[in-house]
Amino acid sequence: MATTLTKAEDRAADTASHAARLRHVSKSFATPAGRQLVLDDISLDVAPGEFVTLLGASGCGKSTLLNLVAGLDKPSAGAIDTPGGRPALMFQEHALFPWLTAGRNIELALRLRGVERSARRPEAERLLELVRLGGAYGKRVHELSGGMRQRVALARALAQDSELLLMDEPFAALDAITRDVLHDELTRIWRETSVSVLFVTHNVREAVRLAQRVVLLSSRPGRIAREWTVDIEQPRRIEDADVAELSVEITEELRGEIRRHGRH
Amino acid sequence: MAGTETKAVTKTAKTPRPAKGDDLAGLEAGLDALDAVQVTRTPVREVLLRKVLPPVVAVALVLAVWQLLVSAQVTDAYKLPPPAAVWDSLRKMWLEGTLLEVLWTSVSRALLGFLMALAIGTPLGLLVARVRVVRAAIGPILSGLQSLPSVAWVPPAVLWLGLNDSMMFAVILLGAVPSIANGLVAGIDQVPPLFLRAGRTLGATGLRGARFVIMPAALPGYLAGLKQGWAFSWRSLMAAEIIASSPDLGLGLGQLLENGRNNIDMPGIFLAIILILVVGVAIDLLIFSPLERAVLRSRGLLVKS
């Protein structure tokens, strides 16, 4: 993990053709009923700076796949390569540490990355500005609203300065208005930072609203069923007609995948 | 007609939104303002009224009932001395200058013993919580030790170490270390797995994980263990002081109680019991409760009732 400290500046010189490369990745778990295959032969590339959403119904192994890419778990077969070092990971729950202020949460990420003490505070404040929470440095987690917590969590993930940002349904627990605003924010920040994003969701419109490429996973076991390239200009809105149009098409496909499971 | 309408809608949706950035910032500022969590603190007067007044009234009531029982002569005067006699004992000790000395002998012993228990119990708890073999081996024993009255350790400690301060500390350690270690184990067991995952993705593994994630996350449970550890230290010491009296040991609260029994000095016995209680409560109230409240408040875990 020597590449963990890769700086954003070095990335331009980095000639890696991908931020993440998965080759024939499978994962199975031991259960009382024998080994259960959760992910089957997943091959997927995320290009540098690309925004990819992984879409699927329950049981498609979305979160398992993210855990594998994040290095929290090992695949049963196949290979995963993330040349930019340890990816940053954002969860559905904010996962901020309640014993630290918002600013200190970000500084902890910087410290663990090896940033020297004097540089931490200005960097944390810059990242808070980036998520438009300039005044929240000294705020405790419980003093922030749900949307603000997820923005601090995003800032903390960005503090890892990783080339790849993994997001595990990060907005699923938010109200619709806040989620809509955070979609706009994420799109803006993604375009400003040129970070690559692999975003997991079960919300078709969210997937189309955000991504350049939508990857549909089938369930039990999770396999790549289909892919769409989203050619709609950013910034988009979730209520845009072309977002809706593609969402309808993808939803049909997703429903087809789900129906297969009722047939035997 | 319907067709043109649909087209019109599509067109509006596609219209570029020029001031979008500023728009978003304003929208977000509005949302933050609406959602901001208000944190208020209770005014001092209300604290006095709700937190201080009730216990004061309760103590006054106990004293009143006590005096009433004495006045009604429910039992012999030497068995139940009036509050005034206990007060006189206290005054006498204060004027003789022995009161603070006695208090300090016991309190310094208990605090020193407690600090030693802290130094041993903390790494022990960490080990039991994080190393599976260690937990399987000594986890149940550690829990079981908590239910063993610490007074049971006094006879062997006297034989092993003699009638001296080391024996007192040994009894305190045997009483307090299991509480502190168990408190830490419980605290660590209750750390949400999400924090551990978040910590690992940030690079906090191994010892760095213990320092930056596990220990701070387990702090509330650890503090509860410390609180109980203090109670056990104090109780163990009193047991040791009552049983093992020797002129070399100096006069502590336990010996004060034992001397009262030997001299059939009931006011002295009452005074010793009250002092033991007051010290136990005072340390908890002055040190552990504020610490615990500060930790819980800073994490937003203190629910106002």
Same domain, A136 and A205: no
pLDDT at residue B116, as a whole number: 95
pLDDT at residue B119, as a whole number: 95
Domain-embedded: residue A207: yes
Same domain, A104 and A53: no
The residue among A129, A145, A161 that closes a domain is: A161
- Residue A21 pairs with which residues in a beta bridge? A45, A81
Instruction: Name the residue among B32, B198, B200 with its Cβ closest to that of A91.
Output: B198
pLDDT at residue B110, as a whole number: 93
Instruction: Name the residue among A108, A148, A181 with its Cβ closest to that of B202.
Output: A108
**Could you identify the residue written with the tokens 């024939």?**
A24
Domain-embedded: residue A92: no
Domain-embedded: residue A212: yes
B chain contacts of residue A140, beta-carbon cutoff 8 Å? 298-300
Predicted confidence band at B22 (pLDDT cuts at 50, 70, 90)? low
**CA–CA dist B141, B139 (Å, integer):** 6
Indicate if the pLDDT at residue B5 is higher than 50: no
Domain coverage including residue A143: 97-161
- A146 touching B (Cβ < 8 Å): yes
pLDDT at residue A256, as a whole number: 83
Same domain, A131 and A46: no
Same domain, A77 and A177: yes
Q: Please answer yes or no on whether B202 and A156 come within 8 Å at the CB atom.
A: yes
Task: Decide which of B12 and B258 is more confident.
Answer: B258
Same domain, A179 and A112: no
Instruction: Name the residue among A146, A160, A177 with its Cβ closest to that of B202.
Output: A160
Least confident residue range of A57-66, A78-87, A255-264, B113-122? A255-264
Give strand ranges (E) for chain A.
20-31, 34-46, 51-55, 77-81, 88-90, 164-168, 196-201, 213-217, 224-229
Q: Please answer yes or no on whether A143 and B36 come within 8 Å at the CB atom.
A: yes
> Which residues have CB under 8 Å from A131's CB, separation 6+?
A151, A152, A154, A155, A185, A189
- HSE of A259, CA atoms in CB hemisphere, 13 A: 6
Pick the CATH number of B78-298 from 3.40.50.300, 3.30.365.10, 3.10.129.10, 1.10.3720.10: 1.10.3720.10
Helices marked H in A51-169: 62-70, 102-113, 117-130, 146-159
Same domain, A30 and A83: yes
**CA–CA dist A256, B189 (Å, integer):** 43
Average pLDDT, chain A: 85
3-state SS assignment for residue B211: helix
Identify the CATH number of the domain in which residue A188 sits.
3.40.50.300
Structurally, chain A folds into a number of domains equal to 2
Percent of chain B, pLDDT > 90?
35
pLDDT at residue A15, as a whole number: 55
Domain-embedded: residue A149: yes
Q: In what order do the strands lie in the sheet with A224-229?
A: A88-90, A164-168, A196-201, A51-55, A213-217, A224-229
Domain-embedded: residue A251: yes
Least confident residue range of B32-36, B73-77, B99-103? B32-36
Same domain, A236 and A186: yes
Rg (CA), chain B: 29
Indicate if the pLDDT at residue B87 is higher than 60: yes
Same domain, A224 and A177: yes
Domain-embedded: residue A108: yes
- Among left, alpha and beta (phi > 0; psi -120 to 50; other), residue A78 is left
